[in-house]
Amino acid sequence: MNTEVKPTESELEILQVLWKKEYTSVREVHEELAKNKDAGYTTTLKLMQIMYEKGLVERNTDAKTHLYKALVTREQAQKTALDKIIATVFKGSASDLVIQALGQHTTSEAEIDAIRKYLDQFNQSKK
């Protein structure tokens, strides 16, 4: 993935569908998206064509139906989105983001333990 390319919200919705399968048709993506929102098939098709041009997906044209595959991983998309949120909403402060997230949402003991474990590992790597 070109690291300069940042998926839009609609493109992220499509990527969510593509991450479930290796190759997926526009029709399959559209049907999955239609379960939760009102979007036309041609809109989905156009978005996927744009995503192909941006380098977010690859397209297999060997068969009659074009099949698409995500070129950006879930982790890359999460990092890009998080970087944008930290930079814009939290003015560059990762700690403000974490404090807000933990204070506004129900966090399970297992999630808190995972966070502690990560922080311990993070501190160990800094030494």
DSSP string, 78-109: HHHHHHHHHHHTSTT-HHHHHHHHHHHS---H
| d(C-alpha 67, C-alpha 110), whole Å | 39
Condensed to tens digits (0 to 9), the pLDDT of residues 84-125 reads 899 999 999 999 998 898 888 788 889 889 999 999 998 888
| 3 pLDDT higher than 60 | no
- CATH 1.10.10.10 domain range(s) in the chain: 9-70
What CATH number does the domain located at 9-70 have? Answer: 1.10.10.10
Locate 28 and state its tokens.
């399959």
Q: Per-residue pLDDT averaged across 44-49, rounded?
A: 96
pLDDT of residue 4: 61
Percent of the chain beyond pLDDT 70?
A: 97
pTM: 0.75
